[in-house]
Chain A
Amino acid sequence: MEAYVIGTLIVGFIAGYLGQRSRMCFVGGIRDLYLIKSTHLFKGLIGFLIAAFAGYILFNNNIAFPWFVEKGALSAIPGAPCILGIPALSIAIIGGLGIGFFAVLSGGCPFRNTVMTAEGNLKALWYVIGFFVGAVIFHLFIFGFIQSLFGC
């Protein structure tokens, strides 16, 4: 447990440092690919996918790989069961479209906005505050609604 908590702090530190130096942003990469046909930021997403895949192959000692939805991927709280089917797919589609749309309106994905907060951007600071408030709102009101609607 402690190793994991310290590990997230260290990985977060490395990611924040690299993110500040490289302006990496996944949603921004898709936006630039569409808007100005530049693959500069989009390569971040490709590199991430390849390296994460390599990491899972390399350290694949004790986890089931590949991992599909029947093991409880897609619930609002990770770990609760949700079976692969229409509910899981519709949750993925609603969530994905919503993240993409509102992330573009806010100028980048959550990671980019957090990095911009640390650079002194007050707009991004309010975004991060809204981020924490949104988590509480989700679990107070929306989680139960989604659960009763889709059953997971």
Chain B
Amino acid sequence: MNKDKNEEEFSKIKNFRINPWMAGAIIGFFAASLQQIASMTKPPAYGFCMACHARDLINSIINPIAGTNLGIAGIVTSIPTLTIIGVLLGSFVAAIIFKEFKVTKAKFNVSYLKMFILGILVMNFALILSACPIRTSLRVAHGDIIALVGLICIGIGAIIGTIVLERRIEV
């Protein structure tokens, strides 16, 4: 992770139209108000979650086919939540409109395997915490003390991961 390269990329990022804080605020407001508008109050703070909604989607597809009884959050018994589909569609539309869609391949095929395993690991830890980083923040905003501990631990884990990455590149 080259620092100069990072700063160069960062100055490029700065020129984009929407600020992250504005995007975060809009997403946060919609995620918080969705449950009340749709009158789905259980489980609380469940308006937006990459991990939990993906879990609900895949398990509600697999359960009828394989006859299993994999866990689904209480509210979504018959129809799956479609957050991850919405995110894919929305960012695809944005990438097409602003001509940023470009198929990029990895240099080595091992990177695909690495990302696949990292996806499995992140999903498992996210389901242990029962929230992805976004839902953790949503829960903090909802007044959940345990989620605050989780968010702080995400920060600590991210810093540890950054240190490990830095060391590996220096060596």
Contact = CB atoms under 8 A, between A and B. Distances in A.
The secondary structure that dominates the B interface is helix
Interface residues of B, number: 134
Given A47-B28, A103-B161, A72 B43 contact: yes
A32 to B, nearest CB: 8
Contacts of A135: 51, 54-55, 58-59, 123, 127
A23 B138 contact: no
Contacts, number: 506
Contacts of B23: 18-19, 21-22, 24, 44, 47
Contacts of A3: 37-40
Interface of B: 1, 3, 6-7, 10, 13-14, 16-48, 50-55, 58-59, 62, 70-76, 78-95, 98, 100-106, 111-113, 115-134, 136-147, 149-162, 164-166
Interface of A: 1-5, 7-24, 26-27, 29-32, 34-36, 38, 40-41, 43-56, 58-69, 71-79, 84, 88-89, 91-106, 109-111, 113-115, 117-124, 126-140, 142-143, 146
